[in-house]
Amino acid sequence: MNELPAAPLHVLRSRTSEKWREYPSDVIPMFVAEADFPLAEPIAAALHSAVERGDTGYVASHTELPRAFAGFAERRWGWSLDTAHIQTTADVSMGIVEILRRIDVGTGLVITPPVYPPFYMLAAEAGVPVVDVALTPEGTLDLGAIEAALHRGARAVLLCNPHNPFGHPHDAASLSALATLADAAGAIVVSDEIHAPLTHSDARFTPWLSVSDAARRIGFALHSASKAWNIAGLKCAMMIADDPDRTAFLRSLPDEVAWRTGQFGVIASIAAYDDGEEWLDRAVLTIERNRRTLVSRLADEVPDARVHEPHAGYLAWVDLGALGWDADPADVILERAKVALRTGADFGPGGAGHVRVNLACDPALLEEAIVRIVTVARGDRVTSTS
């Protein structure tokens, strides 16, 4: 199977999304989680067909999306969703907020930094306090520290699986242990699994709701095709429960939660899950190639940099603290190298001195970005060529 080529640079620069409009044209944008690949052909065909027939109204109360996702989950992860309840909303973040608004978090919501920065904003929007429980240096769950937080009264955990920014899919054993701890404490676990379809060939994704009866009893999972197939602007995500009480909870949400779902998002997601796996596999091949390039090049040319090699998603977490820059590494690299990266400080405790790099791009563009970063790390200012 061949890698998936990125769209040509002139096409990318004609896009009007955040990635290609936030910075001037001399900056290589690798900061936000958008991919540079062309839209998957089955998705494009489904959207064209919808436009041609004028299928641009409100989302129906029943769609083919649960069936399409269940088939994908069974093929991809061996996850049977025969009994699960699936409700749509506009995006994963909105689903998280709607759940958090209606559960009792006790003394706080456990979040595991460094982690996807909007988690903190979502907790604030829902009006719940946060309890930070840092990951281990390897990017795994610190179960002992989570247990201690639950013992002190925290009654909810917001899980990122696979974890952003480490690109680490949590293993079945640690997820099962977390389920046991949370169940014993009477806590709810909400698992953001948006990066799951992008798990690499040398790793395995374990869905939260598949690990045990305890996980199903206390948990919700959130999924979307938005990240894997680069369709975030079409607005469609799924909140999933696989327990009678959790199902009743989702059914009790206001009708407006589901009505916020985008019609084009549903159409595109069905096409992605039904017919988009070949495209997805090719995209992952390109991401894995870029992962290897980043790890090997920085190891050879900037040995003080530490790359936490991702095994899911297309985001790499890089520790540049040893370079000794007084300013934030992302600021230094943007100003001197004209490469836009996400600053690690945004990811909560443990993020300072780090940057997050987007690998869903043309290998040649990544090579140019690395050349610029290496030049700056060696003390020279670079002149952009793109």
The CATH number that applies at residue 253 is 3.40.640.10
Does a structural domain hold residue 384?
no
Q: Which domain holds residue 192?
A: 43-275
pLDDT score, position 380: 74
Within this chain, do residues 159 and 213 fall inside the same structural domain, yes or no? yes
Q: Domain count of the chain?
A: 2
340 bridge partner residues: 29
Burial of 352 (C-beta count, 10 Å sphere; 0-12/13-18/19+): middle
Residue range 259-283, pLDDT digits in tens: 999 999 999 999 999 999 999 999 9
Q: Does residue 381 register a pLDDT over 80?
A: no
pLDDT band at 2 (very low <50, low <70, confident <90, very high): very high
Would you put residue 4 in left (φ > 0), alpha (ψ -120 to 50) or beta? beta
Query: pLDDT confidence of 382, banded at 50, 70, 90?
Result: confident
**36/53 same-domain check:** no
pLDDT at 385 over 60: no
Percentage above 70 pLDDT, the chain: 99
Mean pLDDT of 197-225: 98
- CA separation for the pair 330, 334 (Å, rounded): 6
Please give the helix or strand (H or E) that residue 130 lies within, else none. Answer: strand 130-132
Strands 85-89 and 237-241: antiparallel
Concatenating the DSSP letter of every residue in 255-308 gives: HHHHHTS-HHHHHHHHHHHHH-HHHHHHHHHHHHHHHHHHHHHHHHH-TT-EEE
Residue at 382 is within a domain: no
Tens of pLDDT, residue by residue over 72-102, are: 999 999 999 998 999 999 999 999 999 999 9
Q: How confident is the model at residue 1 (pLDDT cuts 50, 70, 90)?
A: confident
Q: What 3 state SS string does 220-241 have?
A: EEEECCCCCCCCHHHCCEEEEE
Residues 341 and 218 in one domain: no
Same domain as 180, residue 262? yes
> ω into residue 197 within 30 of 0, thus cis?
no
Residue 2 lies in a domain: no
Measured from the Cβ of residue 230, the count of other Cβ atoms closer than 10 Å reads: 22
- Domain end, chosen from 254, 275, 296, is at 275
Locate 85 and state its tokens.
Answer: 């309840």
Percent of the chain whose predicted confidence (pLDDT) is above 90: 96
DSSP 140-206: ---HHHHHHHHHTTB-EEEEESSBTTTTBPPPHHHHHHHHHHHHHHT-EEEEE-TTGGGB-TT----
Q: Is residue 157 part of a domain?
A: yes
> What CATH number does the domain containing 297 carry?
3.90.1150.10
Residue 386 is predicted with a pLDDT of 53
- Strand pairing class (354-358; 315-319): antiparallel
Domain end (from 275, 294, 317): 275
Amino acid at 174: S
Is-contact 240 85, C-beta < 8 A?
yes
Residue 367 placed within a domain = yes
Looking at the structure, do residues 33 and 67 belong to the same domain, yes or no?
Answer: no
Distance from C-alpha of 159 to C-alpha of 162, rounded to nearest angstrom: 9
- 135 and 96 Cβ atoms separated by less than 8 Å: no
Are 70 and 152 within one domain? Answer: yes
**Which of the four pLDDT bands, split at 50, 70 and 90, describes residue 223?**
very high
- 264 and 118 in one domain? yes
161 and 263 belong to one structural domain:
yes
Are 6 and 286 in contact, with CB atoms under 8 Å apart? yes
Q: Are 315 and 165 in contact (CB under 8 A)?
A: yes
In sequence order, what are the beta bridge partners of 111?
A: 132, 158
**Is the domain of 284 the same as that of 334?**
yes
- In a domain, residue 341? The reply is yes
Instruction: Find the helix or strand (DSSP H, E) in which 29 lies.
Output: strand 28-29
Cis peptide bond prior to 29, omega within 30° of 0: no
- Same domain for 285 and 258? no
Residue 201 lies in a domain: yes
- Specify the pLDDT at position 379: 86
C-beta of residue 339 within 8 angstroms of C-beta of residue 356: no
Q: Which of 239, 259, 275 is the last residue of a domain?
A: 275
Judgement on whether residues 130 and 257 belong to the same structural domain of the protein: yes
Encode pLDDT of 224-239 as tens digits: 999 999 999 999 999 9
Domain presence at residue 289: yes
Residues 213 and 326 in one domain: no
Predicted confidence band of residue 383 (pLDDT cuts 50, 70, 90): low
